[in-house]
Structure 1
């Protein structure tokens, strides 16, 4: 995309990534109507790996497959597995709205990590916009209506793992293609979810439709990881972090179109807040250099 600054390109990639993650989650949720959670994760990992390898071959990336064993790639993908397993474990016991709300703490945790480890600088206004986006996400998710459950903390577990995953992912060497990292995440999911499922669940034979949902989830998961990695490589963490909240809007759209759930007035207000904070971040990104979130250079 010629003519775009690093931060602008990163924002576009992040918005597309959150959309693909939501499609992946929606298809996985449909598969979980028939399958236990870890079996569904196992099938998704299986699909990601066996669909990804021919794609790597077609793009001439097979020579990079051994780089899946790179230390940072392994840590990043183990954290991805930790986040996914925490989310589905919580989903078995508490409403998805509560988990979603705690999941929205991930960008704030990521921002804190970027300031501590990468020394990225933020103004008070920029921090305020990110907190405002979080408040909007809470209006959308509206947690706590069903009372507190200790299993809700699985959502915080998942959020912390996602933040750590993205911090590690941003430091993966540029010569390792993002698609290689994404396929590696699928391979680790096969092992982790497979072992958890064998120990904790009674697996069932999926129907052709359910299997199609799991495979479709795999396709969008690969694409989502590839877009996410390239978003962090193109832009500063602070520039793209607010757009992680787009997942809330995509989830609402998915709920309306696929699951027949519709937002109430508070949720609509939350959407407006998220969109307003996102537009403000874009405006700041184009402001004179003294107001720019960070240097905008990829690592």
Structure 2
């Protein structure tokens, strides 16, 4: 293994996912989330197919033994993507990124609930620490506590992103089941295919004709997202999952830089403090799972946004 190459690929994937999110956010004021999901998924498929052809996996890599498992993984992953994209239109990019970190915390809880995985005091304490950080990040947005309008756009955005995190965690549970029978390449491709088809169901909700700038942003999001997924998957071929997984949290740095330079979004001290606790909790969970010998590859290699 060559850990530095794996880390470099992981950082590149995290950076590209941040670029993808910024493209979606730039078009979100006019383009509905369901339509954005279509562009993101449809234009990622050619990139993934070319990657599989280059690897010689185009024939065997797409064979499946659990088709319904792929459908349910695709369903919850598409829901996660749509809610996340909706949240991007209502909240600053760094805030969406920080709230999204609740997904790996929930994955620990769901693994205990649905997979029978033993979760002892250390990891549950780390989850609790992360949830405290989430509440710190959310508190300024939960206007219901100060008598303001609980149906404000910011509060709605928080609900969307939290819902996205729940579905992302559920997607990881489905992925951990799928990797026992099917190849990673099949899981990546059929998620994009399922998301493309499911997104078409939102046509009656009011798709729009995007401007050429918006169309360019959405197509770019799909292509960049596909490349990011390839980098992410390849990273785990060069380094252990426990080595590259902590670099997921570099996304907050990229989100802050892009949010400030592109969208003029300045993160607050409260958000940064809460995010620090969430990141600490996530790293503690990764460290503990490495000590326990738990496989993190399936959990970290595939994500709904990817």
Q: TM-score range by the shorter chain?
A: 0.7 to 0.9
Distance between the aligned counterparts of 2:186 and 2:106, measured in 1? 26
- The verdict on how the C-alpha distance between 1:49 and 1:279 changes in structure 2, with shifts beyond 3 A counting, is closer
1:125 aligns with 2:127: no
* Match among 269, 273, 279 for residue 269 of structure 1: 273
Partner of 1:251: 255
- The verdict on how the C-alpha distance between 1:3 and 1:205 changes in structure 2, with shifts beyond 3 A counting, is closer
Distance between the aligned counterparts of 1:88 and 1:228, measured in 2? 22
Distance between the aligned counterparts of 2:40 and 2:287, measured in 1? 38
* Match among 76, 80, 85 for residue 83 of structure 1: 80
* Match among 163, 166, 170 for residue 169 of structure 2: 163
Q: Alpha-carbon deviation of 1:130?
A: 3.0
Distance between the aligned counterparts of 1:298 and 1:99, measured in 2? 24
Q: Pairwise mapping of residues 1-299 of structure 1 onto structure 2 (< 5 A)?
A: 1-2=1-2, 18-63=14-59, 64-67=61-64, 70-89=67-86, 95=91, 103-141=100-138, 142-145=140-143, 147-149=149-151, 151=156, 153-173=159-179, 176-196=182-202, 198-207=203-212, 209-225=213-229, 227=232, 247-278=251-282, 280-281=284-285, 284=288, 292-296=291-295
Distance between the aligned counterparts of 1:117 and 1:229, measured in 2? 28
Secondary structure at 2:267's aligned position in 1? coil
Deviation sequence 1:246-271 (CA, Å, 0-9, x none): 55454333312321211122223234
CA contact under 8 A between 1:34 and 1:206: conserved in structure 2? no
- The verdict on how the C-alpha distance between 1:107 and 1:74 changes in structure 2, with shifts beyond 3 A counting, is same
Secondary structure at 1:56's aligned position in 2? helix
Secondary structure at 2:163's aligned position in 1? helix
Deviation sequence 1:197-231 (CA, Å, 0-9, x none): x2011421430x43332223223433555537986
Distance between the aligned counterparts of 1:261 and 1:3, measured in 2? 34
Distance between the aligned counterparts of 2:98 and 2:294, measured in 1? 31
CA contact under 8 A between 2:76 and 2:170: conserved in structure 1? yes
Deviation sequence 1:180-212 (CA, Å, 0-9, x none): 32232222222222220x2011421430x4333
Count of residue pairs brought into register by the alignment: 283
Secondary structure at 1:65's aligned position in 2? coil
Partner of 1:289: none
CA contact under 8 A between 1:114 and 1:120: conserved in structure 2? yes
Secondary structure at 1:256's aligned position in 2? helix
* TM-score normalised per structure 1: 0.73
Distance between the aligned counterparts of 1:121 and 1:29, measured in 2? 38
Distance between the aligned counterparts of 1:95 and 1:19, measured in 2? 19
Q: CA RMSD in A?
A: 4.0
* TM-score normalised per structure 2: 0.72
- The verdict on how the C-alpha distance between 1:230 and 1:128 changes in structure 2, with shifts beyond 3 A counting, is farther
Q: Alpha-carbon deviation of 1:153?
A: 3.9
List alignment gaps of at least 5 residues for structure 2. Answer: 299-306
List alignment gaps of at least 5 residues for structure 1. Answer: 287-291
Secondary structure at 1:35's aligned position in 2? coil
Q: Alpha-carbon deviation of 1:80?
A: 0.8
Distance between the aligned counterparts of 2:18 and 2:166, measured in 1? 19
